[in-house]
Amino acid sequence: MEAYIFDAIRTPRGKGSAKKGSLKDIKPIELLSQLYTALEKRTGINNKEIEAVILGCVGQVGSQGTNIAKVSTLYHQWDHNIEGITINTFCSSALSAIGLANAKVTSGMNDLVIAGGVEMLSNVPMFADKGAWFADEEVIEKAHFTHMGVSADLIASMEGFTREELDNYAVQSHQRAANATQNGYFSKSLIPVKDKNDATVLEVDEIIRPTTSLESLKRFDPVFENFVTPSIKQKIAERYPHLETLKHLHHVGNSPTMADGASLLLIGSLEKGKALGLQPRAKIRAFDSTACEPIIMLLGGQFSIQNAVKKAKLDISDIDLHNFGEAFSATCLKYQRDLKVDEDKFNVNGGTMTMGHAQGASGAMITTTLLDEMERRDVQFGVAGISGGAGLGAGIVVERV
């Protein structure tokens, strides 16, 4: 049995700031409820047909705690028989949720599933769960916790990327995201967020900076050198002895921007879709999740995409569009270099660096924007992939039908 995507929607991404974010006063559970309403209106589905809701969420504490996937369906007054699963594979959580939905459908376990993610960093800041990986000194030492920005600098240093190359990528990403927004490329799947008075709070991604230039980025100093502890410096030297110097090249302008947002996909069997009168937008050709060495960390998404393309019995050259989580500029440049992907096929409408990284939701968001662009360009194959903490990664191949 094969799994199909019948719809894919997302909220705009707001600034993940408790002071400045437009979505800061909206509860994460309410954000999901508004997307559930949108799915009902767009597809005409009866919630009694939905068997499971699977959501990625990294900060599972406070307003995002107590299994938000399940509780959000109860809050929305949906049928109590719907299974709710909240998962955390760090930044790849939402794409992992899509992978689990794919497995449930292809195995025959479920016929119709909602998968996606939610993260509101204005409500629950990064590291708010105080997890042992980064908060317990003994665990930090034995599990080799490394700050993600240090990993990005490690990749840039090993690949020989210059500060100018990294900044050039960031400028291009902002320009592409601004162009896509201005021309309405995201409008098909973008659901405006409203407040309790039904007034629109946010209808487009608010983090994009259209005026970003090489000159404007020069004012930012690298920020991750202070995160290199003596222990991590020693471990990098042991694992990567050929590295002569760890250069610090990433700063706030070429790193992912923290964001609020949510995204959902309706996934099911073709037979169930036909019974409900649903027209599929795409078929999931293959999915892969993997992990890489945890100090370099940010290569898991690239490896997962490569594995997924092989599982789909395709070549990278067969892929028309690549949506790759922008975990710092270096990972994007390495992906393009390693896989020999032309820039006119890669993150053509920007990504998590420029539109915002809503951690547990980002994997679903990049899949949603991928589908939008595949339809706009009328192309057949696309991939979405993203790396997560501790070396985790996930990748998916979709085919338009």
| Cα 250 to chain centroid, rounded | 20
Report pLDDT digits (tens) over 4-19: 999 999 999 999 999 9
Q: Which residues of the chain have pLDDT under 70?
A: none
- 23: its two tokens: 């979505």
3-state secondary structure at position 277: coil
pLDDT value of residue 278: 98
User: Is the distance from CB of 139 to CB of 145 less than 8 angstroms?
Assistant: yes
Bridge-partner residues for 397, per DSSP?
286, 383
Cα distances (Å, whole numbers) of residue 66 to 63, 72, 95, 209: 8, 10, 21, 35
pLDDT value of residue 232: 94
pLDDT value of residue 353: 94
User: Is the distance from CB of 382 to CB of 398 less than 8 angstroms?
Assistant: yes
CA atoms within 13 A on the CB side of 136: 8
| pTM (predicted TM-score) | 0.98
In angstroms, the CA 60 to CA 73 distance is 16
pLDDT value of residue 395: 98
CA atoms within 13 A on the CB side of 138: 0
User: Is the distance from CB of 11 to CB of 261 less than 8 angstroms?
Assistant: yes
User: Is the distance from CB of 353 to CB of 387 less than 8 angstroms?
Assistant: no
Task: Give one DSSP letter per residue of 350-381, joined into a string.
Answer: B-HHHH-B-GGGHHHHHHHHHHHHHHHHT-SE
DSSP tally for the chain: helices H, then strands E: 14, 12
Of 318, 314, 293, the closest CA to residue 387 belongs to 293
pLDDT value of residue 108: 98
**DSSP code of 178?**
H
- 399: its two tokens: 């085919």
Report pLDDT digits (tens) over 308-319: 999 999 999 999
